Structure 1
Amino acid sequence: MDITQEKTGNLNAVVKIKIAPADYSAKVEKAIKDQAKKAQLPGFRKGMVPPAHIKKMYGKSILVEEVNNLLNDTLSNYIAEEKLEILGQPLPQLENEREFKWDNTDEFEFDYELGLAPAFDVNISSKDKFTEYVIKADQETLESRIKNIRRSYGKMTNPEVSAEGDVLYAELVQLGADGAVFEGGIANTATLRLDLIKDEEILKTLVGLKKDDVVTVNIKKALDDQAAVAKALNISEEDAADLQSDFQLTVKNVNRLEESDLNQEFYDKIFPDGSVTDEAAFRAKITEEVEGMFKQDAERKLSNDIYEDLLKKHTFELPDEFLRRWLKATNEKLTDEELAEGYDDFAKNLKWTLIENKIIKDNSIEIKYEDVVQAAKVKLDAQFKMYSPSPLPEDQLAQYAVQFLQEKENANRTFEEVKALKTFEQIKSIVTLAQQDIDYDKFIALDKG
């Protein structure tokens, strides 16, 4: 076995691998014998097929497989032993492909192109300054959250006349261009939440309705959401996208979710630990919860500010031409136009991954399984709190987290999130952070800017 490496640029290299018969003959003979023991061929008892017969029938395919296995193992081991930091995967140089006889006497030679990761240092110090925003809950957001919680624990009533925020149980029938019922058209009975009606003029026509009242409504304009229209009419989203008709809406019932009273029974349902005994304490708790949600937005902006700043400071190069070829080779459906449009974002993300990995390595940061489980628990707990502020029992939350991580995609995504979190924690422990209070609406404007 002969392996050599030739640098073809600052971040490019070619590895040449030569394989002689002595390197693969024993492996091929063993594979032939193993297959002979397992083969079931007409005229032979199982396990009694002569190796020579297997070699005659399948010798070339076995040789190809064993040489490929040897080649892959050799290349992987070489990269590991030489401690080469590569980007993407080795690409065979197809223009240097040679013709082989594949008769167990060949001396094989294969060339692989490598894209190498650049060498660089991460420069972070206390001279790097960032603003850490503390977002304060505005009155409108706070009142909206309190209203939603009170409605979640309220009771359903059936008022005679509809008002904003009510739910109409109604029959929807498609109308023709002349305004008459379209024979054989779309018809469905659905519930319409008035708080989801986007068009103010349409909303006005749906307020003040009683049972059996009939109005004409442009359901597509009213909901302004393809999926919502499809659900209301029980049709596909494709059909909903093409819909132009008005609909006759007949009220079957008016439903209203009354807000729960602010009393001790209500407080105990939400905070069973008895920590809330009056409206002031309740509002303080909800304010804390809302500002805790805002904290995630502030942390996201801080992380993004750090991300953009470090990318500007670290302007190392990548083996761009190699990476473009690698992306095309590993994504058969990727067009040249898609590659041209998406490459800059790919390169930017790859550069950040290299910076992130460098910080992890230089600071010996460990990512343990317990960290990943804890991150999954936090994520799931936040999801459950969207439906109820009452916390899940710890043992139940842990069980959900383990089930969640059994999905490989969830586990990989959560691992990357923990990795990113630990990286930013390390960066924030070095740079200078200046806290600044800011109202939510001003933060939104700042974030958009």
Structure 2
Amino acid sequence: MNITKKDVDSLNAVVTVEIQKDDYAQKVNDILNNYRKSANIPGFRKGHVPMGMVRKQYGKAVLVEEVNKLLQDNLGKFLTEEKLEVLGNPLPKNEQDIDWDGEDFSFQFDLGLAPDFDVKLQGRKNITQYKVVADDEMIDNQVKTIRKQYGKLINKQEVEAGDEITGTFTSDEKEMEQKTTFETEVVKGKSQLKAILGAKPGDVIELKTKNLFADEHQNTRYLGVSQEEAKGLDITVKLTLEEVNARELAEMDQELFDKLFGPGVVTSEEALRQKIKEDAESQFVQQSDQKLLNDVVDSAIENTKFDLPEEFLQRWIQVSGEKELTDEEAQAEWERSEKGLRYQLIEAKLRKDNNLEITFEELKSYASDMIRAQMAQFGQTNPTDEEVEGIVARIMANQDEVRRMSEQLGTNKMLDFYKENAKLKTKEVNYETFIKEAYA
């Protein structure tokens, strides 16, 4: 057997695999002899079927199967030994021309090769790294929400500002019948609010949906329409009022603090506000990190220039799925996947060049930290090492869990690397500003 590679250009090559009779003959003969021993053919005793008949009936099928096994095994070994960074899979070039009645075979495969490039993380523009803080307004609103949640409901017979009302929205036009509960504070339209204030249980109120709520997305929550319908919804609905309640706010005392965080964890309103701030900002870090990661990825793709074997990859996309795609479908799929492929190559190079690969010990340590944090949430603050190690062992035996943790740890490593090496500028904002700027 002989395997050679010929470069077409820096991104494309052709591999030729030459297989001679000596490479497969013994294996084919062994298989046919086993067939002969077990073949059950009328007119012949088992094990006494003439080899010529066995070869005529099974020979070509066995030959094709064994040659293809040799081909795939040795082609894969060649690519590994030559350390070729191949994109997609080798594509047969001359499979229609193979003469299976011959003894020697020559197979050719097109290869798409990964480009050689340097990653450019730092472009001309700084990337914004948001530091999201919980401002006084947010903390005030959270305190108010908590006090409402743990306060008392007082039933009323007439709606006043700030009350909580329960009723059913109906509309023949939209075939709507949605029971819901909301506070008068979420009503934006002045005319709609005027119609609701003073209403009593049993009243039927006609309301325009345009500008009914402060946010159009609330149409989905309170009216039960789809997200598509919620945008710009402008119909008349009827609200049948069923119940009116006022919420008496819970007292800011130790009883409330203990309900929220456990006995003695928080002992004052100031400490409560600080705890709310810390918890909120901890959650904000995850969102701002995800935004940073997305922006760095986009910047790296934009600033790191390299060519790809596009024609080869489109052909590979065309034939690699369960159903062969048309030229137009393959082109469209390539356009959808090109950005992702470029980042895969960029990330792989960064991991290799900067020793960012994940080790088994790092994965075990990550799993251990995760388990301890989860146990702490349920009050187990001091588990023994044996307890934790036992759980980690079970997790590490689950391939799906290992894959999930590897992805999480890998993302964390890349994020830390980007924070140290990308061109960043820090901007401190409140959550509302972050949402407007990050997801405009």
What is the TM-score with the length of structure 2 in the denominator? Answer: 0.73
Deviation at 1:133, TM superposition (A): 3.6
Asked whether the 8 Å contact 1:220–1:229 carries over to 2, the reply is: no
Cα deviation 1:329-365 (Å, max 9, x = unaligned): 2244766556555645633332222222112112222
Change (3 A) 1:430 1:35: farther
Asked whether the 8 Å contact 1:230–1:240 carries over to 2, the reply is: no
Partner of 1:136: 133
Deviation at 1:202, TM superposition (A): 5.3
Q: What is the aligned counterpart of 2:341 among 350, 353, 356?
A: 350
Partner of 1:191: 180
Partner of 2:116: 119
- Percent sequence identity is 33
Cα deviation 1:349-403 (Å, max 9, x = unaligned): 3222222211211222231457567878999999x9xxxxx93456799979977
Q: Does 1:168 align with 2:159?
A: no
Asked whether the 8 Å contact 1:32–1:51 carries over to 2, the reply is: no
Change (3 A) 1:232 1:31: farther
Partner of 1:97: 96
Moved more, 434-443 or 28-37: 28-37
Distance 2:150 2:391 in 1: 27
Change (3 A) 1:136 1:120: same
Cα deviation 1:120-147 (Å, max 9, x = unaligned): 334669x997654422223343334334
| Paired amino acid for 1:3 | I
Partner of 1:264: 254
Asked whether the 8 Å contact 2:209–2:234 carries over to 1, the reply is: no
Deviation at 1:114, TM superposition (A): 0.9
Cα deviation 1:386-436 (Å, max 9, x = unaligned): xxxx9345679997997799584x754553343232123234334575544
Residues 209-358 of structure 1 mapped to structure 2, 5 A cutoff: 209-216=199-206, 228=220, 232=224, 248-254=238-244, 260-272=250-262, 274-331=264-321, 332=323, 340=331, 343-344=334-335, 346-358=337-349
Cα deviation 1:312-339 (Å, max 9, x = unaligned): 4421222122222222222447665565
Q: How many residues align?
A: 424
Asked whether the 8 Å contact 1:376–1:401 carries over to 2, the reply is: no
Change (3 A) 1:70 1:274: farther
Change (3 A) 1:98 1:249: same
Distance 2:395 2:414 in 1: 26
| Paired amino acid for 2:267 | T
Change (3 A) 1:175 1:434: closer
Distance 1:426 1:303 in 2: 11
| Paired amino acid for 1:266 | L
Secondary structure of 1:429 counterpart: helix
Residues 425-440 of structure 1 mapped to structure 2, 5 A cutoff: 425-430=416-421, 435-440=426-431
Provide structure 1 residue ranges, at least 5 long, that are not aligned to the other structure.
177-184, 385-389
Cα deviation 1:248-276 (Å, max 9, x = unaligned): 54344446776543221221233226331
Asked whether the 8 Å contact 1:18–1:108 carries over to 2, the reply is: yes
Distance 1:196 1:68 in 2: 72
Cα deviation 1:47-84 (Å, max 9, x = unaligned): 98979687665554444333333222122111101000
Secondary structure of 1:16 counterpart: strand
Moved more, 22-31 or 192-201: 192-201
Distance 1:154 1:334 in 2: 61
Distance 2:143 2:379 in 1: 23
Residues 1-80 of structure 1 mapped to structure 2, 5 A cutoff: 1-31=1-31, 58-80=58-80
Distance 1:220 1:56 in 2: 80
Provide structure 2 residue ranges, at least 5 long, that are not aligned to the other structure.
none
Moved more, 308-317 or 427-436: 427-436
Asked whether the 8 Å contact 1:356–1:420 carries over to 2, the reply is: no
Asked whether the 8 Å contact 2:132–2:431 carries over to 1, the reply is: yes
Distance 1:167 1:400 in 2: 49
Secondary structure of 1:145 counterpart: helix
Secondary structure of 2:8 counterpart: strand
Distance 2:49 2:200 in 1: 88
- RMSD between aligned alpha carbons? 5.1
Distance 2:218 2:105 in 1: 59
Partner of 2:353: 362
Distance 1:10 1:423 in 2: 29
Distance 2:361 2:185 in 1: 41
What is the TM-score with the length of structure 1 in the denominator? Answer: 0.72
Change (3 A) 1:247 1:308: closer
Distance 1:258 1:43 in 2: 94
Partner of 2:377: 391
Distance 1:106 1:360 in 2: 46
Deviation at 1:299, TM superposition (A): 2.5
| Paired amino acid for 1:391 | Q
Asked whether the 8 Å contact 1:211–1:254 carries over to 2, the reply is: yes
Change (3 A) 1:148 1:106: farther
Moved more, 76-85 or 207-216: 207-216
Asked whether the 8 Å contact 1:194–1:203 carries over to 2, the reply is: no
Asked whether the 8 Å contact 1:168–1:254 carries over to 2, the reply is: yes
| Paired amino acid for 1:361 | K
Deviation at 1:6, TM superposition (A): 0.9
